[in-house]
Amino acid sequence: MKVQVEELSPIEKKLSIEVDNARVVEELNRAYAALSGQVKMPGFRQGKVPRRILEQKYREQVEDDVIQRVVQRAYLDAVREHKVEAVASPQVTNSGLKPGAPFNFEARVEVKPKVEAKDFEGLSLTKVDTAVPDDAVNQQIEQMRQNMGRIEPVTDRDTAAQGDQVTIDFEAKVDGNAFPGSKADGIGVRVQDGDLIQGNIPQLAGVKVGESKDVEYTFAQDYQAEEVRGKTAVFHITVKELKKPVVPELNDDFAKETGVAQTVDELRAKVRSDLEKAKKNQATVDERDGLIKALLEKNPFDVPRAMVERAIDSMMEGAFRQMQRQGIDPRQLGLDFNRLRDEMREKATLEVKGTLLFEAIAQQQNIQASDEDVEKRIEDLAIEANQPVAQVKKYFKGPDERLGLSLRLREEKTIEFLKGRAKYS
């Protein structure tokens, strides 16, 4: 087999491959022998159909199958022999089989770019503040109180007030005419600022139970119901019942109800700790992104589309898993997956470039993750997940899983190396 490798660009190569005729003949013989044992033809016993008869009827099909097998094996052999780091399936062209002649084909394939990082010391980064102010702790606790509140009927007044949850009947018209969905009874809304279609009607403040009020609302130009797009409707709204949220007092009993603390002081400490952890995690992400952007200013390069598409696949899978953990079925959301992929493409491209740059720097600086580093991280993961170490070790027993963890640790070490030499402002 003869192979010529041509670099079309830093991310694409062309392999011109010539396969010996003897190898092609061997594959043809094998294919016709197998076909002869399968085909039933009048006048011939099974397995005894002459090859010339088979060629007359099945030549095109057999040669297509043989070409596919020869291409696959020869291509893989060529890639291994010439150390071509292919990242996608090749685009193959050939001129078919010719009797007594070698078989020639060309394969164009996207390849992993060779990156040699430079000027990676003294990168300019913005220092991220991870301190958590008291106001943030108070706001989080207040949100917890609101979430743990209950809804009770209003008994000391009959007039709607800001913050109430109100049961209403309504009938709406546009230009004096009804439209689909323009009438409903027993609907719950909130007396607060916001959009009427989202159930927020601040105009109901001051309206008594049993009384009605007309509220105008202009539909958006892209509203789902075409007949009312951009038009103004008059909603005749009757207040039927008043309810209000009642939030628990901030005391030790409330702290116990949260399930994470026994006292208010413990609750504040827990909330602060969680917020600090979240800020540090976000700071880690922001610093990593900052490093990638700073490195790319000094080391611009292109990446194969296939690597970007795989990164998008990974991002979407992660987003869907997060939705499922929250009890949301992504299939029920009517998502435009093509639009989502387009929105993720810029981020995915940066992620691919960043990974390649960190990998290059690690190789240039001989940064490695030792077996001890891997074992320590497994122990940390077990503590974080509140799982036995043996169980977490079992997950990372496979070579692929362990290699993935080792590469992640190497990247983390590389990032720390860069941060230690960066200039912060």
* Number of neighbours of residue 341 by Cβ within 10 angstroms: 16
**Mean pLDDT within 132-156:** 94
Kindly give the interhelix angle for 264-298 and 337-364, rounded to the nearest 10 degrees. 80
pLDDT for residue 372: 94
For 47-60, the pLDDT digits (tens) are 777 888 888 888 89
pLDDT digits (tens, 9 = 90+) for 374-412: 999 999 999 988 899 999 999 998 889 999 999 999 999
pLDDT of residue 32: 86
- Tokens 């496979």 correspond to 398
The pair of structure tokens assigned to 98 is: 């010719």
pLDDT of residue 45 exceeding 90, the answer is no
Using alpha carbons, select from 119, 35, 121, 105 the residue that is nearest to residue 70. Answer: 105
In degrees, to the nearest 5, what angle opens at C-alpha 375 toward C-alphas 373 and 380?
95
- Residue 283 pLDDT exceeds 80: yes
> DSSP letters along 9-56, please?
ETTEEEEEEEE-HHHHHHHHHHHHHHHHTT---TTS-TT---HHHHHH
Tell me what the mean pLDDT of segment 348-357 comes to: 96
All domains in the chain, ordered by first residue:
2-110 (3.30.70.1050), 151-246 (3.10.50.40)
Please give the structure tokens belonging to residue 75. Answer: 């291509």
Pick from 197, 164, 192, 185: nearest CA to 237: 185
The pLDDT, as a whole number, for residue 167 is: 96
Higher model confidence: residue 166 or residue 223?
166
Higher pLDDT, 332 or 30: 30
Residue spans of alpha helices (H) in 326-398: 337-364, 371-385, 389-395
Q: Please answer whether residues 5 and 77 qualify as being in contact, where contact means their C-beta atoms are separated by less than 8 angstroms.
A: no
Q: How far apart are the C-alpha atoms of 190 and 82, rounded to whole Å?
A: 68
* Least-confidence region, from 11-20, 35-44, 187-196, 368-377: 35-44
Mean pLDDT lowest for which of 50-54, 63-67, 300-304, 393-397?
A: 50-54
Mind listing the pLDDT tens digit for each residue in 107-124? 999 999 999 999 999 999
Q: What three-state secondary structure class fits 294?
A: helix
Q: What percentage of the chain carries pLDDT values higher than 90?
A: 80
Report how far residue 31's alpha carbon sits from residue 273's, in angstroms, rounded to the nearest whole number. 68
pLDDT of residue 325: 84
pTM over 0.85: no
The number of beta carbons lying within 10 Å of the beta carbon of residue 156 is 5
In angstroms, the Cα distances linking 306 to 110, 285, 345, 400 are: 7, 24, 12, 21
**Burial per residue of 255-281, b for 16 or more beta-carbon CB atoms within 10 angstroms, e otherwise:** beebeebeeeeebbebbbeebeeebee
SS3 assignment, position 385: helix
Find residue 151's DSSP bridge partners.
245
What is the average pLDDT score of the chain? 93
| Share above pLDDT 70 across residues of the chain, in percent, rounded to a whole number | 99
**20-29 pLDDT per residue, tens:** 999 999 999 9
SS3 percent helix, strand, coil of the chain, rounded to 5, is 50, 20, 30
pLDDT over threshold 80, residue 44? no
Task: Report the residue count for the chain.
Answer: 425
